[in-house]
Amino acid sequence: MADYEEMTPKEAYVQGRLLGLNELIKLLKDAVENGENAGSSALVKTVVIHISNEMDSIIGDLRDQHGDHPVLRQAAQKSEEIKKQAEEMDDETGPQEVKKHVQAADDLMKNLVSLKSK
């Protein structure tokens, strides 16, 4: 990733937001993979929806800076799918389904980070 000193303030801000969300996804992923999510699908749902909302905002910022890009269109669509699936989660959602949602959020974040580093 680029050095913050070489970025505009807006680029550094977006980069920081991406890194912060990436850390949040890592924590969520670790918790889900270690089986710590028993009975906490509501928490996972809330965090995944928050991540999706933040990603939508970051995608908007990236579009403002760099214009429309196929990766951004794909990321926006995937973010919307993740949010919709998370909103449909309930207390009966199984661990495998929760892991699937968390992995989808992680994949989306990796796509955004790879676009930002280009």
Domain that holds residue 46: 4-116
Is the pLDDT score of 109 beyond 70? yes
- Cα angle, residue 20 at apex, residues 10 and 82 outer, rounded to 5°: 100
* Average pLDDT for 56-82: 86
Question: Number of folded domains in the chain?
Answer: 1
CATH number at residue 60: 1.20.120
pLDDT tens profile 2-13: 565 788 888 888
User: Among residues 33, 116, 32, which one has the least CA distance to residue 75?
Assistant: 116
pLDDT band at 92 (very low <50, low <70, confident <90, very high): low
* Average pLDDT for 49-76: 86
pLDDT tens profile 18-40: 888 888 888 887 777 776 544 46
